[in-house]
Amino acid sequence: MHSLKGPALFLAQFAGDAAPFNDWRSITAWAAGCGYLGVQLPSGDARLFDLTRAAESQDYCDDIAGQAQENGIEITELSAHLQGQLVAVHPAYDTLFDAFAAPQVRGNPVARQEWAMEEVRKTLIASRRLGCRAMAAFSGALAWPYLYPWPQRPAGLIEEAFDELARRWHPLLDIADENGVDIAFEIHPGEDLHDGVTFEMFLDRVGGHPRANMLYDPSHYLLQGLDYLDNLDIYRDRIRMFHVKDAELNPTGRQGVYGGYQSWADRAGRFRSPGDGQVDFGAIFSKLTTNGFEGWAVVEWECALKHPEDGAREGAQFVRDHIIRVTDRAFDDFAGVETDRAANRRLLGLEG
């Protein structure tokens, strides 16, 4: 067993144009002031990180890591969520997802995909330079518009989508392997990898690639009605990251899982700050500890009600309160006796 590392904070929801959220030194100092020991860094946010320089220069990576360390902060992982999303985009979402891409490739899906794959490649190399063992990503989605089977899906449609998804990601998984970095796909609605079954469909198509792994976020499972504790046991050998994000599902006679196109605050299912929702984090931390998870507990703040800075501050303490310091002895050792084989055999009635 291992004690989880933490607390850490995913910076994607906090990076902004105003101080202290617009500069690497200041945002890591702010995170430390909230009680964090680590941060998960979105690789595509130029306010905090120059991805091209990081992929090319060990000195730059050492400097970035050193600035964080001066504030008592470790870089836990890099995130390529948005770039990964653009590896596979159904045409229905072209306009919406163009905002995630560099200006020069917007309006050109082929160029956008090539750009995204290059961004993921750079993030994998930068991860190695920073000493990170895993990189977070979305898988992207080609089949998502056909999630609900009405109208009936043509035979082979989903299989073709997953074949293509695997074709695009396989070379990136090989690059991950060359750099000694796992790709931890966040299992997430809106992605073709949105539950265990779809992850396995993908894993089969990439030949069980050892670098194809998972980012575990129980909030997305609760809102799907998926058993998020059983999931920890099923995929214990593939889970490489953990997002501490809460959620609640309060269906009514008017709406349920699909939410009726309402805003986040008005949906039956909505994200909440850690501890304010329905996720059983005590059980999750216990299972991760028992299963030997060696990674970080990373707060991903998303809440329909609470101010982000309050959620960040409270989230750090929430994780501290849930990390289990692994015991070095059994609780009943005080009653133990030395092994006596002859006595054991007598107790079993094997000797007179």
> CA of 94: how far to CAs of 87, 88, 90, 98, 184, in Å?
12, 10, 7, 6, 24
The amino acid at 157: L
CB–CB of 28/68 below 8 Å? yes
For residue range 68-86, list pLDDT tens digits in order.
Answer: 999 999 999 999 999 999 9
What the chain holds in terms of domains, given with CATH numbers, is 5-347 (3.20.20.150)
User: What are the strands, taking DSSP E only, across the chain?
Assistant: 5-10, 38-42, 74-80, 134-137, 182-186, 212-216, 239-244, 246-249, 269-272, 296-299
Q: What is the pLDDT of residue 346?
A: 86
Name the band, by pLDDT with cuts 50, 70 and 90, for residue 322: very high
Closest CA to 76 of 215, 259, 263: 215
For residue range 12-49, list pLDDT tens digits in order.
Answer: 999 999 999 999 999 999 999 999 999 999 999 999 99
Average pLDDT over residues 129-158: 97
Instruction: Name every residue whose Cβ is closer than 8 Å to that of residue 303 and which is 6 or more positions away in sequence.
Output: 246, 271, 272, 273, 276, 311
Instruction: Name every residue whose Cβ is closer than 8 Å to that of residue 293 and which is 6 or more positions away in sequence.
Output: 2, 4, 236, 239, 242
Closest CA to 143 of 184, 215, 92: 92
For the chain, what percent of residues have pLDDT higher than 70? 97
CB–CB of 137/170 below 8 Å? no
CB–CB of 85/96 below 8 Å? no
Tokens of 158: 């989903």
Average pLDDT over residues 132-150: 97
CA distance 262 to 344: 67
